[in-house]
Amino acid sequence: MKRWFLLGLLLTLFVFLAACGNDTTDEPPTESDGATETTSDDSTANQDTTESAPTNGGEIVMVTVQLINGDGNAIGTAELTDEEDGVAVALQIEDLEAGMHGIHFHQAGKCETPDFKSAGDHFNPENSMHGIDNTDGPHAGDLPNIEVGEDGTVSQEFKAENVTLEIDEENSLFKEGGTALVIHAGEDDQITDPSGDSGDRVACGVITAE
């Protein structure tokens, strides 16, 4: 009788110990786990997806201007890059008449076809005379002539030394309302005020920070 009693007691003790061994508790998430997850989310949210206007400390340093002709058709681009000594201009344009053409920055960010008169006069914040070769010039928006090939295309680079892309500067192309890049039908003589006898406006592109 005692043997059966001891056997039952041992069996009960074994079951109790087995139950205690399987009793585990879940550990709460640590603060370091939460910080890791937050860092991952912030990294994704801060990715810069703007390719046409990269920034440096909040300032736009590059913008691509889309140019159209008098019919409103896209004919190419002008890539403007802000540098210490001015704005670098890189043109890739087609469908123009072969020969030399005047090109200028104009004071209004409007390109209404077919004549682009909406772009206003040359960009001239210092009220200078027209022409790179003018002793009383030039306008800030005056630029060297471009040469279009027999195939109607031009791929040319030059520096606009009298303008900037820095917002709030007097000579900024990103002034309120924007500015425009305009190509003329003829060559600019770089001295005759107000536009160098460069003729009609045949292409235009709006320059804006927006």
Dump pLDDT digits (tens) for 156-195: 999 999 999 999 899 999 999 999 999 999 999 999 999 9
- CATH code of 55-207, in short, is 2.60.40.200
Hunting for tokens 């041992």 — which residue is that?
A: 10
Q: What amino acid occupies position 74?
A: A
Query: Mean pLDDT in the chain?
Result: 82
Task: Examine the pLDDT at 87 and tell me if it is beyond 80.
Answer: yes
pLDDT at 12: 57
| Burial per residue of 148-183, b for 16 or more beta-carbon CB atoms within 10 angstroms, e otherwise | beeeebbebebebebbbbeeeeebbbbbeebbbbbb
Task: Say what percent of the chain tops pLDDT 70.
Answer: 72
Q: Where are the domains of the chain?
A: 55-207
The answer to whether the pTM exceeds 0.85 is: no
